[in-house]
Structure 1
């Protein structure tokens, strides 16, 4: 059975730990790509001397090179601590709850391949629940990633992740930690459905092809398919989420969407698309490969 629910049952706590570990490992490996993606998404058109916009960041390698040159190589891992905190909560909950929610939707006596619409609904629900809990960690991660090189003598907004949490609460109120919750829930519920349901489905389809087995190759192909599908579906809400979290001048999700659309056009919502796919594709492959091996370690079948 290709579903993410293991054939040999493991407990929710074990599945949570497997998912959290896999998500954190993938986060560490791909964070430089995510930092570059956030910078590209937050970048707005700037007028040069000839009136033509001259973007500071261009493309995957260009953005990463500029960040490393101006701020040091370690700047590519900005937001690592809240990023790992986010993945522990969000990654652990969204994947850990996915199997139980699927089982609840179809009934514990159900036998056979779970219908795809049940997989999608289960992933939507677990993605929304998980990010509602983890939103503060996501906010701090984006705020830290968004801060570029500052002029001499200008202090940074936050000295680190812990300082960022306290500063945001002190200056903006406790509720500010859930800034961007609307687009974040929309984005993560949609992307979670795209990732988990599509990985589930791709894996199931691949295993029906003669010669394919439940092994690393199948996991890589299913992970790449899940990553591409997730980026196609989630890029617009991802851009809005990053902008709302990185820039407090937007009044609402709708305000951010309309202002971006008016000033930069529709394709602004797909800024850094290939970078985002590179990041999410790599993230999905690493995460699902690690998750499958962790499940085997705990006694579950892949």
Structure 2
């Protein structure tokens, strides 16, 4: 048994998957307005030449939230929540549910002691890549719904809802289109998953070694904040490329999107939406990990009774 995770053997995979999916969905509902703001900021391009006086429509996290709420109504901030919940059930459940089994696979079932950080990162990279390969269509639909702003009068929306978006994309662009942006999405989610899960695991393990600290809500709060900070610092560039590829079909490939973004908008474009991204990922991780720890505790009691 791995000494740094006492709960590993006393909760089933189904229990871990259900706890992870529930925690991820709850965090998604709480933080999706910040995610919608982040997507709009990332998709916003520089004013074209000759139009230099035009101010950007969206400015800052709170400004973007306020603009969307004012122009499109408060409910527009929850655009993409249905595919967002589809995504979290699949992606959240798989990436977190598989993390312990994959970590055990890499260190061996007879391993005793603290798992090396390199093995934690490798396990999280693996589960992040596997999970998003399954969940990519839900991510694509979520970004497409979030990207659509206020339309001129008489202009119909591309999609009437999440299910309509899935079927329309398949009908108009083919089944393969549901996996648009899979390359940067695997890169983003494998990297962010490693930053989140491995750093949460590592920070929590480190905190628990400090006298006076125990496996409680405060420890989970600190570990969740650490996970969110590492995730957004490392994952922002691939997140921007992923959002642009999913929101705009003009890009031929990941490399094409990267080069065009760099050339047209400069290197700082890769950190567009950094503040809402950190606000979102930081709060998302805190809410998700706090909920996950409590959900696992509930499932553990349920399974042992």
Instruction: Give the match for residue 82 of structure 1.
Output: 83
Deviation, 1:5, is: 6.6
CA contact (8 A) 1:227 1:280 kept: yes
SS at match of 2:52: coil
Instruction: Give the match for residue 59 of structure 1.
Output: 60
Instruction: Give the match for residue 150 of structure 1.
Output: 151
Instruction: Give the match for residue 228 of structure 1.
Output: 229
Q: 1:3 to 1:282 in 2, by over 3 A?
A: farther
Deviation, 1:299, is: 1.3
Instruction: Give the match for residue 243 of structure 1.
Output: 244
CA contact (8 A) 2:227 2:282 kept: yes
Alignment of 1:148-227 (within 5 A): 148-227=149-228
1:265 corresponds to 2:266: yes
- Report the TM-score, using the length of structure 1 for normalisation: 0.97
Moved more, 265-274 or 41-50: 41-50
CA contact (8 A) 2:21 2:90 kept: yes
CA contact (8 A) 1:20 1:88 kept: yes
Q: CA RMSD in A?
A: 1.5
Deviation, 1:51, is: 2.2
* Consecutive unaligned residues in structure 1, runs of 5 or more: none
C-alpha distance in structure 2 between counterparts of 1:259 and 1:72, whole Å: 33
1:275 corresponds to 2:269: no
Q: 1:111 to 1:4 in 2, by over 3 A?
A: closer
The alignment covers a number of residue pairs equal to 301
C-alpha distance in structure 1 between counterparts of 2:176 and 2:62, whole Å: 37
Runs of 4+ in 1 over 4 A off after TM superposition: 1-5, 47-50
Deviation, 1:264, is: 0.7
Deviations 1:107-136 (A, max 9, x none): 111111111100000000000000000000
CA contact (8 A) 1:2 1:200 kept: no
Alignment of 1:101-116 (within 5 A): 101-116=102-117
SS at match of 2:300: coil
Instruction: Give the match for residue 133 of structure 1.
Output: 134
- Report the TM-score, using the length of structure 2 for normalisation: 0.96
Deviations 1:182-221 (A, max 9, x none): 0000000000000000000000111111211111111111
Deviations 1:72-91 (A, max 9, x none): 00000000000000000000
Deviation, 1:248, is: 0.4
Deviations 1:25-61 (A, max 9, x none): 0000000000000000000012497623510000111
CA contact (8 A) 1:39 1:146 kept: yes
CA contact (8 A) 2:203 2:223 kept: yes
Deviation, 1:4, is: 5.7
Q: 1:136 to 1:50 in 2, by over 3 A?
A: closer
